[in-house]
Amino acid sequence: MQATKTARGILSRLSLTDALVVTGIVVISMLIRGLSAGYPLAINGFDSWYLFYNALLITHAGGNWYAVPPDVHAWYPWGYFIEKGDTIGLPFLVALVSMLLGNSANSVYTVTMYADIFLAGMGVVAAYLVGEALSGSKGGGYIAALLVAFSPALTSKNIVGGLPKSSWGGLLVLFTIYLMYVGSKKGKAWYGIPAGVVLFLAEITWGGNTYIIGTLAVAAILTVLLNRNNEVTAKLYTVAGVTTAFLTSLAPNSIGFMSGAAHGLGFLLVGVILYIDLYLKKHLPKEYIDATPLIMGALGVILVGLVLVGLVFSGKVDVIPTRYFAIINPFYQATVPIDKTVAEYIPQSVTSMIRSFGTSLLLLIPGVYFILRRGNLAELWLLALTVVSVYGTSEQPYLFNYTAYVLAATAGVGAGYIISTFYSNRTIRMSKALPAVFIALVAFSMAADAAVAVQQSNIPNAIVNSASPYPYPSYAWIDALDWINNHTPTDSVIFSWWDYGYWIQVVGNRTVIDENNTLNGTQIRLMADMFLNNESVAANILERNFHLYPYGNPNFTRPVYIVAYDTVTEYTASGSPQWYLGYPPSYGSPFVGYTTSFGDIAKMGAMMTIAGYPLSDFLNDTLIYSAINQTQAQFSNEPQVASFIESSIVQATSFAWTNRTYQALLPQMFIEALQAQGGTVIQPFSTRVLITSSQILVVGNPLPTVQLHYFQPVYIAMTPLVSSNGTPIGGPNYVSYVMVIIYQFVQPGYIAPVSE
């Protein structure tokens, strides 16, 4: 009955015009994110494959998230049960819906596809409700809805098959804020029940419980300091908090009241702050009542501060998730090698923030000002979420999907405040067209956001274009994963850089040493050690650390494969084919012999950082300066040619190798695989550009033949980088390819078995 009343209350706020406008924005948002459905294998990105896999496991267990079978494919040699943390909630919901549609892998895949279309529509609705309710202006609601619909930040992961946990968390938090706000305004504490249920869903899908508890504590302190606490607020929050704490205690993870002390105590602390404030107001002498907010606010700040300081200096990183701990204590991040190499953990520039959030940032300031002037607990919670998430995202960009929702809502409140000011100010209310003009200007400023959102949505996902910077299909990874799935024994162990772990684990259906969640830094460091040292060191690591032996060895137990990928370029101007590692920085321009990388060779810098090797051991800066000086001398009379070649040299720095690099396993694997294609492989930074009357020729030194003894190539997947019409992308006399190589660990003197 209460849920029905809540639904009726929401619907009663929508007139026919509002419903039509919001529906139109919903359709636009869904169409933008649906553009990516035109590509095959529409599950997007990396982590989404593992979430999809988890949904399959839960479905096979009949929806019982307590009885999910062990995931034996992850983190060889241990494996572990399905992650019962923040990766189980969204797959659990996907599995429940899938079971209604047939309880099959196809139904799980279908729900995965449509879930994000549903998310795109509901995000618009949530933003409208919060923007309109908190600002008291329908214009504010419309703008909040448009900001979500056109958000570039949301599009990159909210497209079909993205399964973005943080986006679902942001959506559900907005609905929680709306329900708490309405309950507070109506004086109905029972609104805390649906608010608590929705907040529970936010916590199990996103897992951002630290953000939720921390910002609720800040909101409670602000509510007390601004003297906006009352009995309804305290009761409403308590009902919501108890509901959420109880429901999360039933989840098979560590965020519930009964299973996570920090989480449960966080909810209690917020409620205690509110009730102590009410108690003091009732029992203190009148002359001290005015000082109560200041006393309680100071007490709250001291309590929260002591908890945070205690956790920071005690080193209890396991109490605060390491990602959030690095935000609270920036010095900690510098001590974690993996954090220094992962783009999602590296602080963003101001221009990057503007590109991600666009118009939302412009309207943020009036929204914050308006909420501070009149906000209750729900509004102040949105304020705290906004400020903290903007800071958090600037430090660690993986939070941007969540931040986009709260920014849109706060910006909508700011827009609504400006529109209301137009109507109420006597000086300017003579022109009722001003609000319309303001909305038009904001809408015009969102045109750029919409264009970027459409562009990002109409790009094939990472597995389809092999994580290429070019927005066109390239099926090398799909080819390689299909081969792994169909031509390797089921008990095989696949070694690769951690970026591709989920693809190999889920699509290839094989055990991996590491994967995208980077749970085990030791495993990743060992993989870096293998790639950066010669094959004897790699073989020793496999035998000593993993007790895996080469095919043909008396101790052989299960097959071992190593997978790597990058780009290569075939140059044909000099007669026989010549191969260059990498691809030219400028497609369509003449080939000048210098290439760059977006694959594993580019990631060697990250491998060095994680393994603790100095960059100078592998990269020779002298080669770069020498090549630039040679170019300037050769083309002193042709500055444009010199400038173009110099730019290519600068972008080719990852190929300025030392002798140690040439002996490392990763480069040798690529060189041997290319030599097997026929033609010669040219040594990086050995090329010379010769300009004749008819053409530009590039000559370079061929590398000696490489033949690894412990590792043999068993499959090479190569597909050209292509344009939108399917023709290879290249230039005069060259074509570039995405190349995925698969090697098997074999005893010297033995031949890798031929797979049927």
Following DSSP, what letter does each residue of 691-724 receive, concatenated? E-SS-EEEE-PBPPP---SSEEEEEEEEEE-B-T
Is residue 48 within 8 A of residue 169, CB to CB? The reply is no
Q: What is the pLDDT of residue 8?
A: 47
Which carries the bigger pLDDT value, residue 281 or residue 46? Answer: 46
Q: What is the pLDDT of residue 296?
A: 61
Alpha-carbon gap, residue 475 to 719, rounded angstroms? 6
Q: What mean pLDDT comes out for the span 487-509? A: 92
Q: What is the pLDDT of residue 81?
A: 46
Q: For residue 548, is pLDDT > 80?
A: yes
Q: For residue 332, is pLDDT > 80?
A: no
Tokens of 144: 């909040």
Q: For residue 253, is pLDDT > 70?
A: no
Q: What mean pLDDT comes out for the span 103-107? A: 85
Alpha-carbon gap, residue 137 to 692, rounded angstroms? 70
Q: What is the pLDDT of residue 258?
A: 42
Which carries the bigger pLDDT value, residue 84 or residue 171? Answer: 171
Phi, psi for 186 (deg, rounded to 5): -85, -10
Q: Which residues are 657's β-sheet partners?
A: 619
Q: What is the pLDDT of residue 359?
A: 79
Residue holding tokens 């084919």? 577
Is residue 704 within 8 A of residue 659, CB to CB? The reply is no
HSE value, Cβ hemisphere, 13 Å, CA-based, for 534:
9
Q: For residue 600, is pLDDT > 90?
A: yes
Mean pLDDT of the chain: 83
Which carries the bigger pLDDT value, residue 723 or residue 219? Answer: 219
Share of the chain above pLDDT 90, in %: 38
90, 95, 98, 102 alpha-carbon torsion, rounded to 10°: 170
Q: What is the pLDDT of residue 356?
A: 75
Is residue 371 within 8 A of residue 380, CB to CB? The reply is yes
Q: For residue 237, is pLDDT > 50?
A: yes
Q: What mean pLDDT comes out for the span 76-83? A: 60
Which carries the bigger pLDDT value, residue 582 or residue 462? Answer: 582
HSE value, Cβ hemisphere, 13 Å, CA-based, for 395:
19
Q: What is the pLDDT of residue 276?
A: 80
Pick from 316-320, 346-350, 443-447, 674-678: least confident: 316-320
Q: For residue 316, is pLDDT > 50?
A: no
Query: What's the pTM?
Result: 0.85
What 2-11 contacts at long range (C-beta under 8 Å, 24+ apart), as own/partner pairs, is 2/190, 2/193, 2/194, 3/194, 6/179, 6/191, 6/194, 9/182, 10/129
Q: What is the pLDDT of residue 637?
A: 87
**pLDDT confidence bin for 630, thresholds 50/70/90:** very high
Q: What is the pLDDT of residue 203?
A: 87
H or E segment at 403? helix 400-424
Name the range with the highest mean pLDDT among 11-15, 144-148, 308-312, 528-532: 528-532
Q: What is the pLDDT of residue 85?
A: 60
